[in-house]
Amino acid sequence: MTNLKTKTSWNLVNSYAELPEFFYSKINLSKVSSPELVVLNNNLAEYLGLDIGELKSKEGVSYLSGNSLPKGSIPIALAYAGHQFGYFTMLGDGRAILLGEQVTPKGNYDIQLKGSGRTPYSRGGDGRAALSPMLREYIVSEAMHNLNIPTSRSLAVVTSGEPVIREKLLKGAVLTRVASSHIRVGTFEYAANFGTQENVRQLADYTIDRHFRDLAREDSPYLSFLKEVVKRQASLIAKWQLIGFIHGVMNTDNMAISGETIDYGPCAFMDAYNPDTVYSSIDTYGRYAYKNQPQIAVWNLFRFAETLLPLIHENSDKAIKLAQDSVIEFNNLYHKNWISGMRSKLGIFNEEENDESLIELLLNIMLKNNEDYTNTFIKLTFGETLTNETKEFKEWHKKWKARLQRQTQTKEESFELMKNSNPAVIPRNHRVEEALSAADEKGDYSVMDNLIGVLSKPFAHTADQKEYAKLPPPSFCNYKTFCGT
Ligand code: AMP
Ligand code: MG
């Protein structure tokens, strides 16, 4: 008798590999000695139509480590360039391969292995990744997803059984990253700088077809494409600012055209509110500080727009004007998203002209009093007292209460809005570090599992989240993050 029950499984297509070979390199797998699955994202597996039992099997783990290929995979490393801290350079997937795109009812998703060995773009690197930064990407990307922020996601982490040589010997690992694509601003820069105008068009057409299909029918599809990318970035960066997320390395190669957050390196969440906050150890001049993120996005979008100029208009002056106007529109779009998000965080439904100054006043008070960004909003939501209830704060509080009365919504409605806009927990740096050292040093994944559990519903405001909302110990004051290769 035939088994009629269809098993969920890999269902890969390779649309990127159908582009000219200029855009990628075909890869021979570099095997690892003893792969072991240490984290699996059951929800994401289900979403992708993958069978959990199959993923956990010897064969499944072999795929997740890059030791063998699931059916239908054509492994490639993607070529891209990018501006890193302002300087243009050739890059590419130096330690990642794309297995293909998993077809799901909700769209196709890139399945990428990160840490899977050398590629033609590895330059001096070993193509490998260490366990701790891969677990860090797993925790933070999943937290971002649950905070309703567009992001690449993490399906699994497999240890390789092999050491990687960094400042000291570390455990090697491979992360399976899932994203709606890995097309970056830097991919367009690669095409424009190292290819022909036809290559840029091929990439633009491919990207429009993949992410912005409705635009293909427009009169000026490439200009509309630029505008749409600007719009998505304006929405994304506003979400980062509202939640206190600092990407840390907003190079153009780390900005996805899809509008998802990608490349979790030295990222971190802000504790005490301070617009100058920088965590990345390599960001000496604070280029990617919290307060600079919107303007850096604009800078990156200009680099993107430059690559499209010949497609936007045959007259270069006209093309430049159209592109400039489109990129500058980021500022308006960003501001609209940000202020509307801030209103929600304060339980405000309607719009008043002075709302922005009310918000700025609160932020200034937080800065002066060294108040925690996330917890200030939680305390306002639940009517709890702040650490420093200064006279200035009390006056602000009166103004805010009066502001809430100038809308038709009830107190309860404001409370609900605030609960849904202010997370009870974020992945606090000290909690993430605690989870990573337990996993890496002791092989104890329970600390990480608990953290992931608490972060899975950040707007639930449950009792067990309270412990995770606590501030870091003073020893974390000078917390620094590393690029984590
Ligand atoms: P990232 O800092 O992760 O955005 O990476 C910047 C560039 O360095 C990309 O081209 C990466 O593929 C490459 N890269 C990072 N780590 C390694 C490594 N261990 N081996 C080879 N290439 C790497
Ligand atoms: Mg990168």
Question: In this predicted structure, what is the pLDDT of residue 227?
Answer: 98
What is the average per-residue pLDDT within 41-55?
Answer: 97
Question: In this predicted structure, what is the pLDDT of residue 484?
Answer: 61
What is the average per-residue pLDDT within 303-320?
Answer: 98
Lowest mean pLDDT among 10-24, 181-195, 377-391: 377-391
Atom number in ligand 1 closest to CA 164 = 19
Atom number in ligand 1 closest to CA 253 = 4
**What secondary structure does DSSP assign to 46-69, as a single string?**
HHTT--HHHHHSHHHHHHHTTSS-
**pLDDT for residue 202 is more than 90:** yes
How many CB atoms are located within 10 Å of the residue 480 CB?
Answer: 13
Q: Are 245 and 269 contacting, i.e. CB atoms less than 8 angstroms apart?
A: yes
Question: Does 127 contact ligand 1 (Cβ within 6 A)?
Answer: yes
Percent with pLDDT over 90 in the chain: 94
Please name the residue whose Cα sits nearest to atom 7 of ligand 1.
91
Question: Does 148 contact ligand 1 (Cβ within 6 A)?
Answer: no
Question: In this predicted structure, what is the pLDDT of residue 1?
Answer: 46
**pLDDT for residue 2 is more than 60:** no
pTM here is 0.97
Return all residues near 355 (Cβ < 8 A) that are at least 6 apart.
339, 342, 343, 348, 403
Structure confidence by residue, pLDDT tens digits, 70-123:
999 999 999 999 999 999 999 999 999 999 999 999 999 999 999 999 999 999
Q: How far apart are CA 274 and CA 286, in angstroms?
A: 13
Question: Hey, where are the domains in the chain?
Answer: 12-182, 186-343
Question: In this predicted structure, what is the pLDDT of residue 6?
Answer: 54
Question: Does 91 contact ligand 1 (Cβ within 6 A)?
Answer: yes
Question: Does 119 contact ligand 1 (Cβ within 6 A)?
Answer: no
Q: pLDDT band for position 485 (50/70/90)? A: low
Question: In this predicted structure, what is the pLDDT of residue 482?
Answer: 80
What is the average per-residue pLDDT within 202-209?
Answer: 98
Pick from 465, 471, 479, 273: which is nearest to 373 by CA? 273
Question: Does 128 contact ligand 1 (Cβ within 6 A)?
Answer: yes
Question: In this predicted structure, what is the pLDDT of residue 287?
Answer: 96
Q: Are 376 and 386 contacting, i.e. CB atoms less than 8 angstroms apart?
A: yes
Percent with pLDDT over 70 in the chain: 98
**pLDDT for residue 402 is more than 50:** yes
Return all residues near 219 (Cβ < 8 A) that are at least 6 apart.
none
User: What would the two tokens of residue 343 be?
Assistant: 């209103």
253 noted as active-site residue: yes
What's the one-letter identity of residue 473? P
Atom number in ligand 1 closest to CA 92 = 10
**pLDDT for residue 8 is more than 80:** no
Question: Does 125 contact ligand 1 (Cβ within 6 A)?
Answer: yes
Structure confidence by residue, pLDDT tens digits, 129-171:
999 999 999 999 999 999 999 999 999 999 999 999 999 999 9
State in Å: Cα 360 to ligand 1 middle.
Answer: 38
What's the one-letter identity of residue 197? Q
State in Å: Cα 112 to ligand 1 middle.
Answer: 14
Atom number in ligand 1 closest to CA 483 = 2
pLDDT, the chain, mean: 96
Q: Which of 253, 283, 372, 440 is catalytic?
A: 253
Question: Does 110 contact ligand 1 (Cβ within 6 A)?
Answer: no
Distances (CA, A) of 80 to 122, 185, 276, 298, 365: 12, 9, 30, 20, 43
**pLDDT for residue 30 is more than 90:** yes
State in Å: Cα 262 to ligand 2 middle.
Answer: 8
Question: In this predicted structure, what is the pLDDT of residue 391?
Answer: 97
What is the average per-residue pLDDT within 201-225?
Answer: 97
User: What would the two tokens of residue 249 be?
Assistant: 């390395």
Please name the residue whose Cα sits nearest to atom 23 of ligand 1.
94
